[in-house]
Structure 1
């Protein structure tokens, strides 16, 4: 009972301290914030350009530094460390600089990482740079989502925001592979991203210039405490963590599976990965409205069933063309999971906790699973199952939606009203 009273008190403190900042959370028409929508979408596209290039550059990075897979995998772990630090620092930075200021700081930190990368420094310094790119992307990703949920018809704009991230993941391998395969300067990819990153800083600073460093969190410690003691936030953290694990297992190891198990030509099957991310991006755009109209919970279960069926087909049919088709469809149907989850989360927790909750959950995303997988001999572990383990992850994700039944009754009632 005492703990419950303390939790209630924490939320009350947050509500009182945030009352004067409620204008930030006021629902806005998209026509009023076109510039900010463009700049936040561009920032998220930069995140896609950052995240999807590393795997493509590994074959060039290894001989350049004369290192093994274990050392290569460290860049993922260091990148995740940057995400983790940003997840806890996000609300404190926001309490001093506001969302606009936090976005600009994040974009600047990301650019600093590229400054360390593009001249191919000694490997320890090259690895360290991933800490800064991870931190910078995490700050921007959280604040871009927080801003987008304040726009009317947020489910649609979240779908577009995360589709734009998908566009970045499609473009990144094409640019990185072109630079690395046609020149001896694979690291110049990071020079290109640095130039694009500078434009990102300018766009964010310009579009958020009004109230750029105006705080929209008055009591960071109270909000963080309320966030960490909110059961629904932790349930959704589990949902996102498991979903991203499935996404990474499917997209991250796809090409290697097709080369080693299906004996495909690397020059040809490499394009299958772009097909997966293309389906992923289209799914976020085309399925946003239908998912919202028919009910988020119902449609997520439907998509999970389709995804598992497609994964089983991918596993059982030893044909590269059939595998390419099934994996593209898989990307299409799992694409909406993330924006749908964010939309539902923002409807079932207090508005004052959005900054803390979204900043916290972003520590669970992206590179959390990637950092561990390269440490294992995946061929002995997966064998003919390949990315079929993503189906298992999908089942676990579906269980997380069921766990909502154990959430506080008020939150559960809100979920029922939404779905």
Structure 2
């Protein structure tokens, strides 16, 4: 371990971001704790990954709570489909706000601060909703919830995407989101339909708030070293590493490393007075205006926006569609919704390993998943149009969930392998937040369709059409940017 807490360094220590041993570095008067990027070599990293998994399971619970409670909201508040969909619009505003705040929040708060802020926003909103407030206040609370989920999604997604075994770790991360989603429908249904002392719908939000507080405490403990100064230091070092001229050999880099360890200001550009060239490679200086000038960022953002929107719309409106159009019972409809999320969870966890081993690049893997997703939504449309036997529909819903599952994490890994390093954090934050916004916009639009003359019976066909749009977008991305893709290396 390299320890710079003592000014008397008796021997040269050469620091590298690629080291698999824990060490400390003095940077801008703060002792930065650097850990391995390989979970096999660090117990703390394993706990950090676990904390990220808990956080994603938590907002999976929260997201699907909305879809499960749509019929209850409408009965309790006497609102229609459009008014109900205002919740999704509120989530959108929160997500989009975080898209523009992602770079600033990471620079000023670090990964730790963004994660704590995200969980706190969600907990605050659920505490308010648990009091059974007027509906307009529920909508306002979901703005804060959207801010929280957007921050957690962007921060943890980018952070874990740069670890060793990123495909597998990201697949499991988003699989935990699916675990949360699949738990919500049966748990809420069983609590609300208990024969003795049934719960009121808002009581479940108090459970969410308490659970969120426990996860927040765990995240504060495990992410205690992920400060704003550490975030800046890593980006400065990676920018220098990427810019390094191999013809100059190792001496200049080693000299710089020794200076940074000892806290020397012989190279002032490391201590915060970066030269113009350094600033070009330091993504702590990347503004959102620079990010949105990239056509690649917008292509990935719109692909994720459309995919996430379709996924969440399907999961959120499925129960309402089955009870209203197919006349299934609320209990059996919630089981079918859970089947979709079970499939999604299994797909994200299992297919994350398949991606690395069965495909040459993540781009090609994702294209296969997108085409299979289109087939899944098409089969659901055909089956629901031709039969009312729910047992026949279960396999289709499960299969759709499985192939839908790995798309989100694989898109993030693709973005990390396509984008230059200096743009990664700000761009991934924007892509995740913009993409997550689709999870609010498209369900909101589905509510408009449900309230219109078209009616909710068009729900399965809309899923097919949007899925086909995702496939077209991914074909464009593959043809436009595929030649610059580096297979299985970050």
Tell me the TM-score range normalised by the shorter chain: 0.7 to 0.9
1:314 to 380, 399, 402: 380
Answer yes or no: is the 8 Å Cα contact 2:91–2:143 preserved in 1. yes
In the TM superposition, 1:202-241 aligns within 5 A as 202-214=217-229, 216-217=231-232, 222-241=286-305
Query: Residue deviations 1:93-145, cap 9 Å, x none?
Result: 11111011111111111111112111112222222111111111111111111
| Structure 1 counterpart of 2:346 | 282
- 1:15 aligns with none
Length-normalised TM-score, structure 2: 0.75
* TM-aligned CA distance change 1:185 to 1:367, over 3 Å: same
CA RMSD after TM alignment: 2.6
Per the alignment, residue 298 of structure 1 pairs with: 364
**Equivalent pair of 1:109/1:132 in contact (CA under 8 Å):** yes
Partner of 2:160: 148
Please state if 1:401 is matched with 2:467: no
User: 1:126 is matched with which residue?
Assistant: 138
> Structure 2: any 5+ residue segments left out of the alignment?
1-26, 233-281
Question: Which of the numbers 463, 473, 479 marks the counterpart of 1:390?
Answer: 463
| SS of structure 2 residue aligned to 1:308 | helix
Query: 1:418, CA displacement in angstroms?
Result: 5.2
After superposition, the Cα gap between the structure-2 partners of 1:415 and 1:395, relative to the gap in structure 1 and judged at 3 Å, is farther
CA distance in 2 between partners of 1:256 and 1:166 (Å)? 20
Kindly tell me the number of residue pairs found equivalent between the two proteins.
397
Correspondence 1:371 to 2:386: no
| Aligned counterpart in structure 1 of residue 203 of structure 2, from 172, 176, 188 | 188
Aligned to 1:358: 428
Q: Can you list the C-alpha shifts for 1:342-370, whole angstroms capped at 9, x where unaligned?
A: 11110110122222112111223222311
Q: Distance in 1 between matches of 2:67 and 2:447?
A: 11
- Structure 1: gaps (5+ residues): 1-19
Hey, what's the Cα distance between the residues in 2 that align with 1:326 and 1:290? 21
Whether the 8 Å contact between 2:55 and 2:215 is mirrored in structure 1 is yes
Matches within 5 A, 1:101-116: 101-116=113-128
- What residue is the counterpart of 1:138 in the other structure? 150
Shift of 1:24: 7.7
CA contact (8 A) 2:67 2:319 kept: no
Residue by residue, what CA displacement relative to the aligned partner does 1:252-306 show, whole Å, maximum 9, x if unpaired? 3323333344332332232111001100110111111222223233333333333
Name which of 328, 345, 367 aligns with 2:398: 328
2:49 to 15, 37, 45: 37
Give the C-alpha shift of residue 382 in structure 1: 6.1
Q: Distance in 2 between matches of 1:70 and 1:327?
A: 26
- Bigger mean CA deviation after superposition, 41-50 or 319-328: 319-328
Paired residues of 1:99 and 1:215 also in contact (CA < 8 A): no
CA contact (8 A) 2:70 2:320 kept: no
Whether the aligned pair in 2 keeps the contact of 1:405 and 1:412 (CA below 8 Å) is yes
Q: How does 1:61-76 map to 2 (within 5 A)?
A: 61-76=73-88
Q: Taking structure 1 as reference, are residues 132 and 157 closer, same or farther at Cα in structure 2, changes over 3 Å only?
A: same
Cα distance change, pair 363–29 in 1 and its aligned pair in 2 (3 A): same
Question: In the alignment, what sits opposite 1:8?
Answer: none
2:283/2:426 contact within 8 Å kept: no
TM-score normalised by the chain length of structure 1:
0.87
1:197 counterpart (191, 199, 212)? 212
Match of 2:411 in 1: 341
CA contact (8 A) 1:254 1:387 kept: no
Aligned to 1:267: 331
- 1:3 matched to which residue of 2? none
Q: Which moved more, 1:245-254 or 1:377-386?
A: 377-386
Distance change >3 Å, CA 214–CA 173, structure 1 → 2: farther
